[in-house]
Copies of this chain bind each other. A is one copy, B any other.
Amino acid sequence: MRTGVWLVGARGSVATTSIVGALALRAGLSGPTGCVTELPEVRGPALPAFADLVFGGHDVVATPLAKRAEALATAGVLPARLVAALPEELAEVERELRPAPITGSQADRAAAIGRDLTEFRERHGLARVVVVNVAATEPAPGPHPAHADPDALRAALSGPDEVLPPSSLYAYAAVTAGCPYVDFTPSTGLRLPALTALADTHRVPYAGHDGKTGETLLKSVLAPMFAMRHLAVRSWSGLNLLGGGDGATLADPAANAAKVRSKQRVLGETLGYLPQGDTRIEYVEALGDFKTAWDLVTFAGFLGTGMRLEFTWHGCDSALAAPLVLDLARLTAAAHAAGHTGPLADLAFFFKDPLDSTTGSLADQWTRLCAFARQLHGGGADAERG
* CB of A312 within 8 Å of the partner chain: yes
Q: Mark A343-386, 1 if CB is under 8 A from B, else 0.
A: 00000010000000000011110100000000000000000010
Q: How far is the CB of A237 from chain B (nearest CB, A)?
A: 5
A217: CB under 8 A from chain B?
yes
Which residues of chain A from 223 to 258 have a CB within 8 Å of any chain B CB?
224-225, 228-232, 234-235, 237, 239, 241
| Interchain CB contact under 8 A, A313 and B309 | yes
CB pair B319–A303 under 8 Å, yes or no, is: yes
Q: Report chain B residues within 8 Å CB of A241.
A: 235, 237, 277, 296
Which of A30, A284, A285 gathers the greatest number of chain B CB atoms within 10 Å? A284
Whether A363 contacts B313 by the Cβ 8 Å rule is no
Chain A 307-335: CB-based contact to B (< 8 A → 1; otherwise 0): 11111111110011011000000000000
A112 within 8 A of B: no
**Is A278 touching B286 in the complex (CB atoms < 8 A)?**
no
Residues of B contacting A76 in the complex (Cβ-Cβ under 8 angstroms): 76, 305
Q: A224-B221, A294-B296 are in contact. Are A312 and B310 (CB under 8 A)?
A: yes
Q: Which of A35, A286, A292, A366 has the most CB of B within 10 A?
A: A286
A94 within 8 A of B: no
| Inter-chain contacts of A302 with B (CB < 8 A) | 17, 21, 33-35, 319-320, 322-323
Q: How many copies does the complex hold?
A: 4
Nearest neighbor of A322 in chain B, beta-carbon distance: B302
Contact across chains for B228 and A303 when beta carbons are under 8 A apart: no
Interface centre among A221, A312, A364, A366 (most CB of B within 10 A): A221
The CA-CA distance from A217 to B309 in the complex, in Å, is 12
Interface pair A292/B296, CB less than 8 Å apart: yes
Main secondary structure of the interface of A (DSSP, over half): mixed
A276 within 8 A of B: yes
State which residues 284-299 of A face B: CB under 8 Å: 284-287, 292, 294, 296, 298
Report B-chain residues with C-beta under 8 Å of the C-beta of A39: 228, 230
Q: Given A225-B218, A363-B363, do A21 and B303 touch, yes or no (CB 8 Å)?
A: yes
Chain B proximity of A222: nearest CB distance (Å):
6
Chain A residues within 8 Å of B, Cβ to Cβ: 17, 20-21, 24, 30, 32-36, 38-39, 76-79, 82, 217-218, 220-222, 224-225, 228-232, 234-235, 237, 239, 241, 275-278, 280, 282, 284-287, 292, 294, 296, 298, 300-305, 307-316, 319-320, 322-323, 349, 361-364, 366, 385
What are the 8 closest A-B residue pairs judged by CB atoms, nearest first? A363-B363, A34-B302, A305-B319, A234-B286, A311-B311, A301-B319, A235-B286, A221-B221
